[in-house]
Amino acid sequence: MRILYLLLAVLFVVLQGVAGQPYIPRPIDTCRLRNGICFPGICRRPYYWIGTCNSGLGSCCARGWRS
């Protein structure tokens, strides 16, 4: 029964390789989804804070409104 599970796992990896998909997908960059830029530390003008970056070390900043 263990062999069956192992073969199933190998088949899954092979099928993903044939489809051209990576086995371990990259995490989604939520800052880019919000049209932001990651800055170390705090946001400076003309940017304002909209969240934290995936690494947790930076601030996700977006450009302010133009007048």
Q: Residue 17 corresponds to which tokens in the numbers above?
A: 């390789």
Q: What is the CATH number of the domain that holds 59?
A: 3.10.360.10
Instruction: Grade residue 64 by pLDDT with cuts at 50, 70 and 90.
Output: confident
- 10: domain range? 3-63
Q: Which residue is listed with tokens 């998909």?
A: 21
**Could you give the 3-state DSSP secondary structure of residue 9?**
helix
pLDDT(60) > 90: yes
As a whole number, the mean pLDDT across the chain is 81
pLDDT of residue 48: 93
pLDDT of residue 61: 94
Domain count, the chain: 1
For the chain, how far is it from start to end, CA to CA, in angstroms? Answer: 68
Look up residue 65 and give its amino acid.
W
For the segment 4-10, the average pLDDT, to the nearest whole number, is: 83
Look up residue 19 and give its amino acid.
A
Name the pTM for this structure.
0.53
pLDDT of residue 8: 84
Cα separations in angstroms, 41 against 1, 22, 29, 49, 58: 53, 33, 18, 11, 5
